[in-house]
Structure 1
Amino acid sequence: MALKNEGRGRNFGISFEFFPPKSEEMEGQLWDTVAKLQDWDPDFVSVTYGAGGTTKAPTLSAVTRFLSQTPLATASHLTCVGATKEETHQMIDTFRKVGVKHFVALRGDAPGGVGAPYQPHPGGYANAAELVAGLKSVGDFEISVSAYPEKHPESRDTAADIEMLKRKADNGADRALTQFFFDNDNFERYLERVRAAGISIPIVPGIMPIQNLTQLKRFAGACGAVIPAFLDERFAGFDDKPEDRAKVAAEVAAEQIEDLVRRGIGDFHLYTMNRAPLVSAVLDNLGYSRRASKSAGAAA
């Protein structure tokens, strides 16, 4: 990789996303992954939160452990779907009491799942822009929000999507973390439209190292992300060769980040899927330098 050859080390920032475990086995996997990834010294990590608060207890448990047992700055996702404003504020206060100072504010999927009709709770926040304003009204939180280079699947069009992003920024969001994508030209066009709309907050690309292309295609179809044909070509012939497949996956993600860095992008949000090897391989390919753990073994 060119970045490695140039010895540029840490010339961009990184953050990681994790999801709360749903079983004892997944719990062990999460904290093993955290122990292996924390030496990359990300700017922050985030922990997801299910629609309607369906994972609020596991999310709270995971966030509490991140904050108390690791050196990692930790953000909690927060959704407003299916909750009154009072209930949302109670959750904000609960997270604040365990030390959360950074939220990833999201509307959340409809309780019926992706694709089901969305109806705001009559006593709640109607969307993420309102949730951002609500967060700002009760505390001086750092706030990240979502952005969709290929349009949110429920948005009327890209212009409406960008208008919603502008509302979130105007209400106090500090940055936007994008849905994963693989077409950097498309992202650059999107970013130009975002800036033309007067949105100045950082737009941080979400990078999805491909653990399983078939599963990713199913997930992408539900969230509106496009899987380019070149990915089929890159992974062709490796279905029964896990080591070779993992090598290709690391190369694809590293090449995407390298290209975006050359286009002037300075921060990246990596979707870890609670697995360390592929994320580490991507950063190794880029020559990204590790730093000594601030608290060795803290997450073990």
Structure 2
Amino acid sequence: MTNETLQQKYFSAQCLAQLNENIADIKSEVGVSFEFFPPATSAMEETLWNSITRLKTLEPKFVSVTYGANSGTRDRTHDIIKDIRSKTGMVAAPHLTCIDASETELRQIARDYWENDIRSIVALRGDIPEGEANPHMYSTDLVKLLKEEGDFDISVAAYPEKHPEAPNEQFDLDVLKSKFEAGANRAISQFFFDAETFLRFRDKCIKQGIEGEIVPGILPVSNYKTLVKFAGLTNVHVPDWMHKLYQGTDNDPMTRNLIGATIAMDMVKVLNQEGVKDFHFYTLNRSDLSYAICHSLGLRPR
């Protein structure tokens, strides 16, 4: 038996032991949801549907599909959402932004979703293209518009470490409160890597009178270098201990995956012990890590 094979067996045994320990610590039933993005190639589409098929067995509360600020990507999102709904029966929630569409177009999109039995939407402002003026609508306006068109189940975004464009923390909390007052059903947080970051944010929301559910967004990390770049753009702090854990793993994807799964498992365990019952996973269209973490939450295929 080679050293590499022995190492794989050792890490697999460690991971299984961690899973069993975490399962024992979960004290209540939990709910999960998963986020995907539209594939750009046929190979990526196959990966997406393989992931959807596998994660469907965990009976998520809903799955969401993102899109960028252009009509081509938006159309792919619409098609995928309708396919997920018709082929799997799962609750499918498209992302909808108001950055690149008029009020009339947004109402047409909402009506089309309603007529196709799509009743859940993730309502976002969207990223403002560089050099362009402020948008004509914001996420709060979009929530109001959707509620006028139908009794949609609406998720919005929350930022435990403050939105990059927010002038201060209080402004960010005020915006979140306005989205709930406009009719949002829940907020899904930006990803984070310290459970205390989310718990402190939740406490601040309560003090502001924000009573809606705040669902933590969990990003299992498989590509650390990409994460660091993305975190820098989204105002997400990457702790020093994460840098140390991933050192020397550039050419070792198996170890990176085990580290990423373990970090996420530890976070959901702590959050669950603090009363969090729902978790939203940013899957990056791959099922392995999210599936393993859900296993640690006690979820089983049905």
Query: Quick one: structure 1 residues 287 and 93, their matched pair in 2 at CA, closer, same or farther if it must change by over 3 Å?
Result: closer
- CA offsets per residue over residues 43-71 of structure 1, 9 Å max, x none? 11111122254511100110011000013
Larger displacement relative to structure 2 (151-160 or 53-62): 53-62
The 5-angstrom pairing of residues 7-18 of structure 1 reads 11-18=29-36
Q: Which amino acid aligns with 1:26?
A: M
Q: Which amino acid aligns with 2:199?
A: E
Is 1:197 equivalent to 2:215 in the alignment? no
* Superposition deviation, residue 82 in structure 1: 2.2
Partners of 2:98 and 2:126 within 8 A in 1: yes
Which residue in the other structure is 1:69 paired with?
87
Partners of 1:21 and 1:27 within 8 A in 2: yes
Q: Which amino acid aligns with 1:109?
A: D
**1:177 aligned residue (171, 188, 198):** 188
The 5-angstrom pairing of residues 1-300 of structure 1 reads 1=18, 2-6=21-25, 11-112=29-130, 118-121=133-136, 126-284=137-295, 286-292=296-302
Alignment partners' CA distance in 1, 2:210 and 2:26: 33
* Superposition deviation, residue 7 in structure 1: 7.0
Q: Aligned pair count?
A: 283
* Superposition deviation, residue 5 in structure 1: 2.6
Q: For 2:38, what is the secondary structure of its paired residue?
A: coil
| RMSD, aligned CA | 1.6
Partners of 2:155 and 2:184 within 8 A in 1: yes
Partners of 2:26 and 2:269 within 8 A in 1: no
The structure carrying a bigger helix percent of its residues is 2
Query: Quick one: structure 1 residues 187 and 7, their matched pair in 2 at CA, closer, same or farther if it must change by over 3 Å?
Result: closer
Partners of 1:53 and 1:79 within 8 A in 2: no
Q: Which amino acid aligns with 1:173?
A: A
Q: For 2:113, what is the secondary structure of its paired residue?
A: helix
Give the TM-score of the pair, scaled to structure 1.
0.90
Give the TM-score of the pair, scaled to structure 2.
0.89
Alignment partners' CA distance in 2, 1:81 and 1:63: 20
* % same residue: 38
Partners of 1:22 and 1:58 within 8 A in 2: no
Task: Give unmatched runs, 5+ long, in structure 2.
Answer: 1-17
Task: Give unmatched runs, 5+ long, in structure 1.
Answer: 293-300
Alignment partners' CA distance in 2, 1:83 and 1:11: 40
